[in-house]
Structure 1
């Protein structure tokens, strides 16, 4: 009889799963140049759920894409654990993303001809590995999709499709999962369920999650919120609530923003 692995403990003082040092990124040139990241220094602790927020154009999506190795920085460094991503060539970066990074997007990106289970296990099979059936069982039980594994995406609700996408992101036991507006295409109930599952993956499965969102309620599911403004870190909010997140965003637009630094809440 196969026994599912016990949940990973949540460390009291985790180190960074991913961090950026002096990160810079500019789009365009001359008078039309947009500095999306302007010397960003930030770290995201292992075994924690962190949300990235900021006004439109603040650089939050660019930061996530560069941290995940999906976009190239103009300057600075990104580290995934001890590994510097910014020094890797395309081939090694692709292999690293496949093995050590998970992704959850606003669009579910499931293959319509595959069943839910086939979609979940696809990253392992693409890497030529063997699926850990006990870990798969733990994921689908935690996400509540045991009875949906033989269904194709068209036979699943939006919330169920996103749960399948989360399981797919977690199946390789990645160092970090990056979630880009994961509730953007969901109704409020399904969105709350997905956010609860992401939080559960952190607290019960020991996962690290970094999520970009524009929704203060979504951000309140995280352990910490990192605020961006004009491509710079503008503050942090620990143990966030929707109200404290709204107050933090309001501070970015008001007199509390001094020299690119907002008051931490």
Structure 2
């Protein structure tokens, strides 16, 4: 029921989530009463045709956009009831982000970009965890390089490290391989997959790519702002077939 906290198995959950743009006859319902939960320690992909509401759903789940109605819970915290300052703190301390455009600060080197969210939260990185993340992402020799001195794949690795370092409740990835070639994209997806398998991280990814979605444990399908099904243990072929059924 909307307003109720999620079960302990859910890292993030939406109940009756509605997002409407405009009003009256011109109203557009980007989300129309979505009920969905994302398990802790799992990798879930959100997919659907263009305009299905997948990015809107992720932005509402991550507290980047406000809902018109319904509730979003991060663990036992209801995001949709928080004031802006509390929501900002929650995003900084409990949510990690990986975007298609990397969103690195060009004047900072890789190390400074990685630790920036922790610094903004007034926290120091755990040296052992920092070293482990940097080693896993192959960034040890790149920490003093600025973004302009890094390849696209290296920049996205820095973005993944930045998202993982605070040990967030959830990492939200919005088309994380969209600006990468297929080989580099596969490396980034492997890193997200291994962060789930090896450290119990929860990852929720929006993608239009069936091959990327096949790295996930589960695919949630949206169409016209509504939940349209899901696929457990997806393969690229099963995703393509499901999307065809939605008219994508």
Same fold flag (TM > 0.5): yes
**SS of corresponding position for 1:253:** coil
Deviation at 1:32, TM superposition (A): 2.2
User: Scaled by the length of structure 1, what TM-score is found?
Assistant: 0.89
Q: Distance in 1 between matches of 2:247 and 2:207?
A: 18
The C-alpha deviation readout for 1:24-52, integer Å capped at 9, x for no partner, is 01112223211011110000000000000
Aligned partner of 1:125 in structure 2 is: 119
Structure 2 counterpart of 1:141, from 126, 135, 139: 135
2:17 aligned with 1:23, yes or no?
yes
Q: Which runs of 5+ in 2 are unaligned?
A: 1-6
2:92 aligned with 1:65, yes or no?
no
Aligned partner of 1:53 in structure 2 is: 47
Q: Distance in 2 between matches of 1:237 and 1:59?
A: 18
Checking the alignment, whether the CA contact within 8 Å between 1:202 and 1:209 is kept in structure 2 is: yes
2:178 aligned with 1:184, yes or no?
yes
Aligned partner of 2:109 in structure 1 is: 115
Checking the alignment, whether the CA contact within 8 Å between 1:52 and 1:210 is kept in structure 2 is: yes
**SS of corresponding position for 2:66:** coil
Aligned 1:248-259 pairs, distance under 5 A: 248-253=242-247
Deviation at 1:249, TM superposition (A): 0.5
User: Scaled by the length of structure 2, what TM-score is found?
Assistant: 0.95
2:87 aligned with 1:90, yes or no?
no
4+ aligned runs moved over 4 Å, structure 1: none
Q: Distance in 2 between matches of 1:72 and 1:216?
A: 28
Aligned partner of 2:3 in structure 1 is: none
Identify if the C-alpha distance between structure 1 residues 173 and 144 changes in structure 2 by more than 3 Å, giving closer, same or farther: same
Structure 1 counterpart of 2:35, from 27, 31, 41: 41
Task: Report the aligned-residue RMSD.
Answer: 1.2
Q: Distance in 1 between matches of 2:191 and 2:113?
A: 18
**SS of corresponding position for 2:199:** coil
Q: Distance in 2 between matches of 1:115 and 1:14?
A: 38
**SS of corresponding position for 2:101:** coil
Q: Distance in 1 between matches of 2:148 and 2:135?
A: 21
Q: Distance in 2 between matches of 1:211 and 1:65?
A: 11
2:74 aligned with 1:74, yes or no?
no
The C-alpha deviation readout for 1:130-176, integer Å capped at 9, x for no partner, is 11111111111111111111111111100000000000011111000
Aligned partner of 2:208 in structure 1 is: 214
Identify if the C-alpha distance between structure 1 residues 110 and 74 changes in structure 2 by more than 3 Å, giving closer, same or farther: same
Aligned partner of 1:263 in structure 2 is: none
Aligned partner of 1:104 in structure 2 is: 98
Q: Distance in 2 between matches of 1:145 and 1:193?
A: 13
Aligned partner of 2:149 in structure 1 is: 155
Checking the alignment, whether the CA contact within 8 Å between 1:14 and 1:47 is kept in structure 2 is: no
Q: Distance in 2 between matches of 1:78 and 1:192?
A: 31
